[in-house]
Structure formats: structure tokens, C-alpha cells
Amino acid sequence: MSKTSNKLVNPNARDAMDRFKMEAASQVGVTLKQGYNGDLTSKQAGSIGGQMVKKMIEAYENGMQ
């Protein structure tokens, strides 16, 4: 049985990921607060994650051109 974690490979990337998450949340109309956001609905959390993935795919595709 393997144990997984959400640790970033580069700990310095935490701030950049937090900014990215806040930007994605604002783009889908969800207000995040600093720290714990356990009061979000699954729909809200999913929309933030989906927006982040969309932006990462766009960045990758733009880098390939």
C-alpha cells in the first residue's frame, strides 16, 4: 500500500500555486480566504480545479507553438 501526499516537489512553488488558485477562483466567481476553505461546496472546489487545469493546458499548448 502506497502513501500519497500533496507535497510540492519545489517548496518555493507553494506561493505561486496559491496565487494561481486564487486567480482561478476569481475567474469562476468563487471567493477564497487565506488558509482553510473547507466551507466550499464540491461544485465550487471542482470549478476552481477545473479552471486551473484549463489554464495549465492552455499554457502547455501555447508553449508548443
CB 31 within 8 A of CB 25: yes
Q: Does the pTM exceed 0.95?
A: no
Q: What is residue 31's predicted lDDT score, i.e. its pLDDT? A: 95
pLDDT of residue 2: 58
Condensed to tens digits (0 to 9), the pLDDT of residues 6-55 reads: 776 787 888 888 999 999 999 999 999 988 999 999 999 999 999 999 99
Check: CB of residue 47 under 8 Å from CB of residue 27.
Answer: no
Whether residue 5 is predicted with pLDDT greater than 80 in this model: the reply is: no
Sign, CA dihedral 1-49-8-56, equals positive
pLDDT, residue 20, reads 95
